[in-house]
Every structure is written in C-alpha cells, then in structure tokens.
C-alpha cells in the first residue's frame, strides 16, 4: 500500500512509518517539524515538510501521490499546553484534520487510521465508582482541550463514516513508552513531559532530579497507576487496523498492556535498569490526574488479532535506555534549547 503518514517524524508516527516500510509499504511522510525530528526519518520514506493547515501544500502532495490510506498522527499533544493555549490546539488538531479529511475525499483516498488517546475518557472513575479496566464503551468525557480535540475528531469521523464518505478506525493509546527494540529509534521531545524519558534523563545526568506528582492517592503505594504500552506494539496495531479496515470501519480500539504500574514502580524499575540511584522529588498532585488508568484491550485482541509483545515494564525501560545511549539520541537532544531541558 502507498501510505501517507502525517506527523511521521514524531515519536509514534516514526516508529509506525519504519515498521510499514519494513513490511513492504510505500511511505510518504508529512511533517513540518514543529514537534518532530528529521533524524527520525526512516530509510526509504519520502518526506514533505508541510503543515495540514496549508491547503495548497496539502493539495500538491495529494495530487502527486495516489494514496491507499492515511495514518494520522499529526497533532499537538501536551495536556498542560492545551489548557494554557486551547485555541492553538483547536486550530491545529481539528482544523488541520478537517483539511486532511477533505483532501482525502477529493482524491478518493479510502481510509484513515486515527492516532487517538485514552484522554478521551477523562477520569472514568469518579468518587464512589469501582476501579476496573477501561473498555471502549466507557463514555467520552475529556477533561482538557487536548482530549477534547481527539474526542471531537472521533465524532467528526463517525459522521463522515456513517454517510459512506470515509472509512476509519480510531486507536486509543494509553501511556506510550519504549523505543525501537534495537535502540535505533526512540523518543525525543522538547519539552519532555513523559515519565520514563524524564527518569532516564535524570539517570544520565541530563536533569538534576525528577519529580513525581501526588503520593496520597487511594492506590497501594499512594501514587497514580498507569498502563504503559510499547511504541513498537502501537506501530503494529496501526498496520493491523489497515488490514482490518473493511471489516471494522467506524470502530475504536483501546491499546494498552492491561496491567497497571504505579509511578513508584516505574521509578524503581528505571533505577534497576540503569543502576543509578537518582534523586526524585515528591510534589503535589496535578489537577485532574486520575488515580487509575488501565486499559481493556480485549476488543483489539479479538477483532484486530493484536496483542502486545514488548509491553512488560522492564522491556519498555530497557529499550528506551538503549535508545538514550544511542549517539543519535544525544545528537538530537543537544539541539534542544537548554532552557527547555529542565521542563517537565
């Protein structure tokens, strides 16, 4: 298949593009580097530096290529930033996606796999509600502009799909983590907001200390519990979604390992893998952080034939640590302005 991968130089998009090429697909990447890194360009991929907001550039790309499908990763995805700058998120994530959808319809591109998020659920376990694994029939109730853009985009795609205009599948990730199993590709953000990379940066001396938020949640050790899913397992899910598109268009699938790890467990695992006893500060809880988020991925297992292969915590941390020791990570990291290296 000839695939357009939007945001294909970002974290999850680059891994999926790499795997798609490895499996014989022809990959075209659209990424304006606002959040991606050109060092993540997979060998064999064609790259256009363009924004979904630029309809003229988008038209040129579609006119020059006959795509069989789109993997749509391009989006701003920082929760805190979305609260501070909601207009930026609505314009980029929604308007850009609408431009993409309309070009797909104009050029008769049949299907799209959406990079969605567990943030569409918000906090599904309000006071008094028993905790459990989150299934796809939980209501969408996002708590921040980022989550609302993804939930709204799912609803938009559902409307188009019901009218027979476009086939799509939405993949709702839980906590994406890890790196290419051989350590040749991985995560570099500016600023970094994800827990495992922050802990690894601290272990490697790139940060003075790490901070965790909230230690008095009603969980076994007082810290939040999260479901971490390996990025390579996520990449595989996107290609399976393309294969199963005709059978399951319009469906949403949770992607998680179905096991929760507390933040303290993650800290101790990183210390074990790196063999560094770094400093961790315990801060107050962040407003809106749910105490417990663990996926049920039964639907993806049964309908897509997907199951995570790399998503135990030690494997995730080991692969991420291998990537952090790769000179490419160091080269990319050194380009990040020093004022942002302590942000978390």
Q: Are 193 and 200 in contact (CB under 8 A)?
A: no
Residue 295 CA to residue 227 CA, distance in Å, equals 7
What is the CA 128 to chain-centroid distance, rounded?
30
DSSP character for 174? S
Q: Token pair of 238, please?
A: 């996107």
DSSP character for 53? T
DSSP character for 339? G
Tell me the angle at which helices 313-324 and 195-203 cross, rounded to the nearest 10 degrees: 50
Q: Which of 18, 146, 261, 292 is catalytic?
A: 146
User: What Cα–Cα distance (Å) separates residue 266 from each residue in 85, 91, 233?
Assistant: 30, 35, 19
3-class DSSP assignment, residue 289: coil
For the beta carbon of residue 332, count every other beta carbon within 10 angstroms: 17
Q: Token pair of 33, please?
A: 């580097």
First to last CA, the chain: 39
For the beta carbon of residue 107, count every other beta carbon within 10 angstroms: 14
146 is catalytic: yes
Residue 35 CA to residue 56 CA, distance in Å, equals 21
What positions carry a catalytic annotation? 146
């Amino acid at each position: 298949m000839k695939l357009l991968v939007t945001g294909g130089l970002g974290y999850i998009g680059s891994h999926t593009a790499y795997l798609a090429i490895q499996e014989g697909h022809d990959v075209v990447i659209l990424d304006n580097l606002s959040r991606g890194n050109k060092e993540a360009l997979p060998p064999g991929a064609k790259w256009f530096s363009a924004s979904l907001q630029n309809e003229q550039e988008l038209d040129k790309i579609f006119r020059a290529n006959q795509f069989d499908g789109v993997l749509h990763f391009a989006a701003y995805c920082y929760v805190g930033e979305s609260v501070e700058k909601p207009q930026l998120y609505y314009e980029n994530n929604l308007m850009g996606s609408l431009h993409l959808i309309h070009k797909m319809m104009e050029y008769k591109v049949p299907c799209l796999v959406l990079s969605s998020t567990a943030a569409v659920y918000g906090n599904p376990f309000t006071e008094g509600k028993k905790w459990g694994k989150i299934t796809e029939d939980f209501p969408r109730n996002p708590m921040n502009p980022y989550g609302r853009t993804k939930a709204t985009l799912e609803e938009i795609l559902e409307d188009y799909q019901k009218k027979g205009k476009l086939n799509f599948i939405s993949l709702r990730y839980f906590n994406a983590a890890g790196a290419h199993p051989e350590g040749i590709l991985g995560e570099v953000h500016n600023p970094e907001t994800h827990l495992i990379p922050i802990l690894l940066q601290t272990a490697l001396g790139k940060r003075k200390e790490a901070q965790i938020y909230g230690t008095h949640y009603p969980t076994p050790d007082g810290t939040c519990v999260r479901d971490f899913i390996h990025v390579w397992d996520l990449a595989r899910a996107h290609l399976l979604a393309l294969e199963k598109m005709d059978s399951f268009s319009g469906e949403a699938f949770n992607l998680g390992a179905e096991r929760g790890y507390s933040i303290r467990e993650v800290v101790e695992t990183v210390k074990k893998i790196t063999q560094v006893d770094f400093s961790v500060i315990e801060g107050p809880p962040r407003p809106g952080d749910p105490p417990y988020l663990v996926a049920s991925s039964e639907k993806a297992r049964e309908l897509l034939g997907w199951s995570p292969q790399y998503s135990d915590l030690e494997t995730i941390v080991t692969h991420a640590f291998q990537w952090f020791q790769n000179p490419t990570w160091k080269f990319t990291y050194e380009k990040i302005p020093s004022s942002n290296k302590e942000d978390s």
